[in-house]
Amino acid sequence: MIDGKLAVAIVGCGGMGGGHAIAIASGTGNAVWNTNAVTGTAFEGKMNSDISKKLTLAGVYDIDPARQKWAADRGMYNYESYEAILADDRVDIVLIATPNHLHRDEAIAAMRAGKHVLCEKPVTPTSRELVEILQVSRETGKVFYPRQNRRWDKDFLIIKKIYDENMLGKVFHIESRVHGSRGIPGDWRGKKEYGGGMMLDWGVHLLDRLLIMIPEKVKKVFCTLTHVTNDEVDDGFKMHMTFESGLTAYVEVGTCHFISLPLWYMTGDHGSAVIHDWSCRGEIARLKSWEDKDATPILAGAGLTKTMAPRGENSIETLPLPDVDFDRNELYSNLVDTINGTAKQIVTGEEALRVLKLMEAAFESAAKGVVVDFE
């Protein structure tokens, strides 16, 4: 503890670790998450939890001297090694923000040294490594907290609300997608040995969110990986899932798409919803009546169709997407409350393990070209 607050030390002070460092050290608890440095636009969501009252930054360690300097220039304490973090009795939480292949050893060492762990996603490249971590978490009684922060993305919270409140009737298909056009970033993410690839990078977010939204078993998985810009690891994937009720989901990550398809498409027996982008442009089309007696054939390409003729206002209504109210700092805050034993852990290791196993089923499907049974 430092000044009565839980003290965080960060290992890996690159893009993400640097963001965490500013967020915690700034005393506002959230400065870097508050404003997008590039566009200057604010992130969505309120900051209901004032984490500056709960957390403080003890310091950072990065093997790259340039990143150590970056932190020192901002008044942050530089640890000289990871071992020095582990030896510092004031440190309560180790925040792991190194490349993915390092997470297991760092997490296990931290818990064995008496620290709780907040670990960036994917918490490990394989489920086997996470099983080892969770075993040590149980043995030591230390909290292991996967940082699945995209559960607090506004687009996800909107689509989840539409799903939870049955706004579309019985939902039978969901599509979750992210498209970019720049390939894999030119760092460790392009290399297998570091736990690279887009399944591990973005798939882990999209699948985590689907699994917490749909409270069902996943029965079947079929996946193809793309290698448009990188042979070594996937630069995207297309994944079909069938849930126990028959509901289907399609998840896609693409890094060579110069026009982006919508982030979300969800359809049920009484309506459909679309969310186009992170600014959450979109709409709901909801059925007023199945009857549409005036439907007349339309000219569609070289032929006529009645089946695909759009509905009129008499049978369909267009609604705006619902508003959502959420606390952007809830993950940090819940970490502290979990450690203090005053709240249930929102993102659990078991949930992260299920997602890793689902990704492994997807890799198996892609390697063999078959549908894989899952749960």
Site residues (vs ligand NAD, CB under 6 A): 11-17, 61-64, 67, 82, 97-100, 102, 120-121, 147, 149, 187, 201
**Backbone φ, ψ for residue 152 (5° rounding):** -105, 15
Question: For ligand NAD, which is the closer residue by CB, 271 or 360?
Answer: 360
Complex with ligand NAD: residue 16 or 136, whichever CB lies closer? 16
**Which of 159, 154, 179 is closest to 261 using CA atoms?**
179
Q: Indicate the residue among 120 and 360 with the shorter CB distance to ligand NAD.
A: 120
Q: Shortest distance, CB of residue 312 to ligand NAD, whole angstroms?
A: 43
Residue whose CB is less far from ligand NAD, 13 or 109: 13
Closest-CB residue for ligand NAD? 14
Element (H, E) at 147: strand 144-147
Which has the closest alpha carbon to 148: 362, 335, 364?
335
Concatenate the DSSP letters of all residues of 253-309 into one string: EESS-SSPPPSEEEEETTEEEEE-STT--EEEEEES-S--TT---EEETTEEESTTP
From the CB of 301, what's the least distance to ligand NAD, in Å?
Answer: 42
Q: Is the dihedral of CA 355, 358, 364, 365 positive or negative?
A: negative
Q: What three-state secondary structure class fits 93?
A: strand
CB of 369 to ligand NAD, least distance (A): 28
Residue 31 CB, nearest approach to ligand NAD (Å) = 17
Smallest gap from Cβ 107 to ligand NAD, in A, equals 12
How big is the chain, counted in residues?
375
SS3 content of the chain, % helix, strand, coil (to 5): 35, 25, 40
Minimum Å distance from CB 368 to ligand NAD?
A: 27
Is the CB of 14 or the CB of 183 nearer to ligand NAD? 14
| Whole-number Å distance between alpha carbons of 55 and 119 | 16
Residue 10 vs 336, nearer CB to ligand NAD: 10
Closest approach of ligand NAD to the CB of residue 257, in Å: 20
Radius of gyration of the chain (CA): 23
Q: State the Cα–Cα distance between residues 223 and 363, nearest whole angstrom.
A: 7
Residues 6+ apart with CB under 8 A from 260: 179, 180, 277
Distance (Å, whole) CA 47 – CA 40: 18
**β-pairing verdict for 144-147 and 116-120:** parallel
Give the shortest CB-183-to-ligand NAD separation in angstroms: 15
Least separation in angstroms between CB 356 and ligand NAD: 13
Q: With the C-alpha atoms ordered 188, 193, 197, 201, is the resulting torsion angle positive or negative?
A: negative
Nearest 5 degrees, angle CA 161-CA 165-CA 166? 115
Work out how close the CB of 265 gets to ligand NAD at its nearest, in angstroms, rounded to a whole number.
23
Q: Which is nearer to ligand NAD, 162 or 331 (CB)?
A: 331
What angle do the packed helices 15-25 and 65-73 form, to 10 degrees? 20
